[in-house]
Structure 1
Amino acid sequence: MKRPNIVLIMTDQHRFDALGCYGNTVIETPNLDSLAQEGTVFASAYSSTPSCVPARTSLLTGMDPWHTGILGTGKGQGKMGGNFKHTLPGELSKSGYCTLGVGKMNFNPQRALNGFHQTSLDESGRVESPGFVSDYAAWFERNKTGDYGPVDHGVDWNSWMSRPFHAPEFLHPVNWTINESIRLLEKRDPTAPFFLKTSFSRPHSPYDPVPYYFDLYREKSLPAPCIGEWAGMHDQPDEAHSPNAWRGKRKNEEVLRARAGYYGLVNQIDQQIGRLFSYLRHIGAWENTVIVFTSDHGDMLGDHHLWRKTYAYEGSAHIPLIVRLPKSMRQAKAIPGRIHNPVCLQDIMPTILDSAGLPVPAVVDGSSMLPLLRGETAAWREFVHGEHSWCYSEEQEMQYVTDGRWKYIWFPRLGTEQLFDLGIDRGECRDLSGDPRYTGELAAWRERLIQVLEPRNAGLTEGSRLVCQAGQPPLVSPHYKLRTEPANVQL
């Protein structure tokens, strides 16, 4: 059988509920909604480490954060080096695929290929390797129509502020990402199946869609942020004053303006994705292509007075995931339109390799979702585990477990916990951990987390209890040290 082409589309900092196919009736995402109609929506997909570098490392390798050695973006954590023996593009390259990566990769060094044959990069202004200039930045300078830069609108890379893009629409990084994806496909080896990763640098801040999309959502009635009964702890005026604040209560108009910019970016991305889909149809590749759409993590957008990511809450950790199989694989069995089993980014690599008929390396922790996509009643995990080291503040370091219906969160530095019934409280507004009616549920979920953490022998557990980490050094996986030592760089 002819091997399928594979297209992996990844947005940056994209909440699960900012798509029409996930129930959002305000946002306009017709191309992705159509993809979902042909494929499958995973309703309970989560990022095990909800920030850019660790999440993308797990997707690249199929490994849990503890095994990649990157537990977050912050204390004691490292970069995604080019020293993994088994990567998704690497396994496909070794098997005869032409592998292309466009947009945000977060590799270190930034020109590392990590198994790709070719990359064309947009790294959102990051310069982490000596002399590095991204392909987007160089292209922007060659093609701009005046004396301005990519972020001369004055909104920073982690700001809650929002305004329209200041330059002509064709210069926007969203448009460039699709233009560059099509350009690399045009120049690929036509005798080999292709793997394309199209990785947008948005809707991650700055929330700067082109004026058409910004104005479109400024005129709409947008969902207000969810504010939990417990969220007063994050109403911190001394911190909220910063344009890059990670928490703090802002004026309603500021929050809604941020959401208008964010929604506008998602709409703009969807329209550009439509161009890529049209190109795949034009070259006759559409019906023989596996298409996966996902994100590395979400964005709180003011929920519970929080911004950005790294949290266990739904806005940060719950991600969109749509998988559309080639026509021949869809016709073989009735494909379920919606799957509620808990899945994570580690599952994408084995799923793609499985769909291409390729073996999955033994180091991969994730599982192929192909049996679920075929409607088979195969055994599956009961819950997803996630974590993040302390980043903005030690108090927000977290561990969580969820099955998509219940969620348990533990804050190691505070020694506190939360429990949410997502089935009736998707916004996580009511913490049930102190309600005596849920003592049994709380204990059961706490025990699940203990079962995950106990084998680490990292001082997080003692018998049947979790151990508060206040005053302790940052948690660092031993696998990070092993991976970065010269004698052990191929894990």
Structure 2
Amino acid sequence: MTGTPARSPCGATGPGCCRRDDRSVRRDPFMPTRPNVLFVMTDQQRFDTIAALGNPHVATPHLDRLAARGTVFDNAYSTSPVCVPARYTLRSGCEPTRTGVYDNTVPGGGHAAIRERCGPYLAEAMGLRGYRTWGVGKFHTEPWDAPVGYEVQRHSEEFYGSPEQRAGDAYASWIATEHPEYDWIEALMGERTDMYYMPQLSPLPADCTVESWATREAIGLMAADDDRPWFGFVSYIGPHPPFAPPLPYNRMYDPDQMPDPVCGDRAIDHLDQHIPWMNHLVYAEDVDPHRARTLKARYYGEISYIDGCIGDLLDAVERRPDADNTVICFYADHGDLLGDHHGWQKESFFEASARVPFLISWPERIAAGDRRSELACLTDLFGLATSAAGRPELRQGSDLLGLLAGTAPPRETLFGCHGRPGTRRFKAMVRQGHLKLIWLANGGHRLLFDLEADPHEIKPVQAERPEDADRLTALLAARLRSEGVAEAFDRDGLGPELRTFPYEEWPLTRVHQFDLSRGITGFGAAG
């Protein structure tokens, strides 16, 4: 590994540079005591990718700095570990059992119906509490430009389904206007489809990528002349594949120095049929060890690049007079198997996919340099923000600020689910203490892991500890019953047992993600 590039990843010089001075922000002489709140999210970043938290193979000086500024939750999860459900969970404060979003499709009624069921989305809720609100980056709503309550909302989605979407995407339109020399590029974030898990180089220089753009936009919005406290959201698209860091981050890590994936028995790992199905879907069914290490090197390069962008955000906060009264929460929507368990992508309840980094800082209120073992999840973010704003609304989350203050109890049990209940694709997770149960409707299989004894989830212990497996299964059934998820049970929801199906391998298919905005519909298609 070479040294971290010294220049700002968001552009070294010029007007609008992300290192501009923000000390000119006008403040009311009677500064409000309510804090600013900044949420920073990456896409598909594993829990074990921060140097200060134990990974010696990656350089993350600014995430290290954020961890030192506040508190780390070491056992934080995405309770439905894939893009759309995770995002609807964090913006609604509710689990898929209430949002109805169990995978990357939004059910009938869509975006507006979720708000009707769950209440105003987080940005709107913060606006109702007197906050100036802004959001930049990937929102992954359905439809793509659905409003979620921000006064200012600047989208940068991963790809474009029509010419209108590309023209309406804030980042793509910025490229077209400010850097037309790059507007010919179909895949601004790197090639997908058959290149999904091929190591790549960004087609753009570092100061033109979507991450640098989002950082500059966020810093400008942060500095707006407004006396209200602000709630800001920065949602980075990386390190979601394709792994295409810009120069020089593409060569920051030597693949030969990267650790190999951690795998158990393939037959056990692939009891979750979603893993081999997804491998084939994204052309990753036969990744060899060298390619796996190279992909990890590029993945870490993406993370180090984004870490530099986060450093610019932290600099902007710390130059402000209200820096110590600014809550910063960093997290990811889910992780990536990255070859572990013979798998790639997410949508699995193995730790590499479901567990996420989760850092909270608030110098005026939260101890610095603390690490907590209590269970946390993305559902808690709604309550975190509204509690900081002075009018707590936890919805289905737990009270993390109360926990840190010693006034609220920890969560005893954490549940997760993915796939439509009542179908073969439904699966669930129960985490309690050191135990984790993965329950699969396909075949009725159960995997029980003791994460203290087996942190890499290599040897399931349900055969040796059937009482624990039965107890956690009963807790799952009770949870689903209490949420009214009748379709998860047999006999049309009237039976006592969770509905299972004879084990079946799923038909394999491929996903094609070309630039539909340019008329590209498949291989060989002309624009």
Q: If the TM-score is normalised by the length of the shorter chain, which range does it land in?
A: 0.7 to 0.9
**Residue equivalent to 1:194:** 230
1:41 maps to a residue whose letter is V
Helix, strand or coil: the match of 2:252? helix
* Contact 2:419 2:426 (8 Å CA) reproduced: yes
Closer/same/farther in 2, CA of residues 415 and 239 from structure 1, 3 Å limit: closer
2:282 to 221, 227, 244: 244
Give the secondary-structure state (helix, strand or coil) at the position aligned to 2:39: strand
Deviations 1:323-377 (A, max 9, x none): 001x3223xxx5671111111111111111111212417xx11122012222x16
> Take 2:474 and 2:409, find their aligned partners in 1: how far apart are those partners?
21
Match of residue 171, structure 2, among 113, 136, 141: 136
Unaligned runs of 5+ in 1: 473-491
In 2: Cα distance, 1:239 partner to 1:55 partner: 21
Deviation at 1:74?
A: 4.8
Q: Deviations over 1:177-221 (max 9, x none)?
A: 1011112223x3421111110100010011100132121113561
Which residue of the partner structure matches residue 360 of structure 1?
393
Q: Secondary structure at the match of 2:257?
A: coil
59, 62, 72: which is aligned to 1:31? 62
461-470 or 136-145, which moves further after superposition? 461-470
Contact 1:81 1:109 in 2 (8 A): no
Shift of 1:150: 5.5
Q: CA deviation at 1:167?
A: 2.2
Amino acid at match of 2:34: R
1:135–1:466 CA distance, 2 compared to 1 (3 A): same
Equivalent residue runs for 1:397-416 within 5 Å: 397-403=426-432, 405-416=434-445
Aligned-residue identity in percent = 31
Residues 440 and 277 of structure 1: CA distance in aligned 2, closer, same or farther (over 3 Å): same
Within-5 A mapping of 1:316-395: 316-325=353-362, 327-330=363-366, 337-360=370-393, 364-374=395-405, 376=406, 378-389=408-419
SS class of match (2:191) = coil
Q: 2:99 aligns with which of 58, 68, 72?
A: 68
Query: Cα 1:209–1:154, aligned 2, differ >3 Å: closer, same or farther?
Result: closer
Which amino acid letter does the alignment assign opposite residue 460 of structure 1? A
Q: What stretches of structure 2 of length at least 5 have no aligned partner?
A: 1-31, 505-527
The equivalences for 1:49-64 within 5 A come to: 49-64=80-95
TM-fit CA distance, 1:413: 2.3
Cα distance in 2 between the residues matched to 1:134 and 1:266:
24
Letter of the structure 1 residue corresponding to residue 209 of structure 2 = H
Could you say if the C-alpha distance between residues 14 and 131 of structure 1 is closer, same or farther in structure 2, counting changes exceeding 3 Å? closer
Counterpart AA for 2:443: L
3-state DSSP class of the match of 2:393?
Answer: coil
**Which shows bigger deviation, 150-159 or 439-448?**
150-159
Change (3 A) 1:389 1:211: same
1:468 matched to 2:500? The reply is yes
- What's the CA shift string for 1:408-433, capped at 9, x where partnerless? 01111221111111112221111222
C-alpha distance in 2, partners of 1:444/1:390? 23
Counterpart contact for 1:75–1:390, Cα < 8 Å: no
Contact 1:87/1:115, CA 8 A, preserved across alignment: yes
Q: Which residue of 2 aligns with 1:113?
A: 147
Counterpart secondary structure, 1:447: helix
Deviates more, 1:88-97 or 1:438-447: 438-447
- Asked if the contact 2:190–2:242 (Cα under 8 Å) also holds between the matched residues in 1, the reply is no
Partner SS for 2:172: helix
C-alpha deviation, 1:238, in angstroms:
9.7
TM-superposed deviation, 1:461: 3.7
Distance 1:152 1:355 in 2: 37
Whether the 8 Å CA contact 1:105–1:123 is kept in 2: the answer is yes
Give 1:482's aligned residue. Answer: none
Poorly superposed stretches of 4+, deviation over 6 Å: 235-241
Task: Name the amino acid aligned to 2:216.
Answer: N
Report whether the alignment pairs 1:100 with 2:137: no
Name the CA shift for 1:366/1:173 in 2 (closer, same or farther; >3 Å).
same
Could you tell me the TM-score, scaled by structure 2's length?
0.80
Structure 2 distance, partners of 1:192, 1:398, is: 44
Query: How has the CA–CA distance of structure 1 residues 381 and 6 changed in structure 2, closer, same or farther, with 3 Å as cutoff?
Result: same
Q: Following superposition of structure 1 onto structure 2, how do residues 146-185 of structure 1 map, counting pairs within 5 Å?
A: 146=182, 148-149=184-185, 151=187, 155-156=191-192, 159-185=196-222
Letter in 1 for 2:229: P
Partner Cα distance (1:308, 1:404) in 2: 27
CA distance in 1, matches of 2:330, 2:147: 21
Q: Which of residues 90, 96, 102 in structure 1 aligns to 2:124? A: 90
1:214-252 C-alpha deviation (Å, 9 max, x unpaired): 21113561121111124476499997995823x634111
Q: Provide the residue aligned with 1:418 in structure 2.
A: 447
- Summarize the alignment of residues 7-26 of structure 1 with structure 2, pairs less than 5 Å apart: 7-26=38-57
Q: Distance in 2 between matches of 1:152 and 1:109?
A: 21
Q: What RMSD in Å do the two structures reach over aligned CA positions?
A: 2.9
1:453 matched residue in structure 2: 480
Does the 8 A contact of 1:53 with 1:80 survive in 2? no
> What CA distance in whole angstroms lies between the structure 2 residues aligned with 1:34 and 1:377?
27
Instruction: Report the 3-state secondary structure (helix = DSSP H, G, I; strand = E; otherwise coil) of the residue aligned with 1:183.
Output: helix
CA 1:190–1:253: 2 relative to 1, 3 Å = same
Give the match for residue 226 of structure 1: 262
SS in 2 for 1:409: strand
Q: 2:345: which partner in 1? A: 308
Asked if structure 1 preserves the Cα contact closer than 8 Å seen for 2:448 and 2:460, the reply is yes
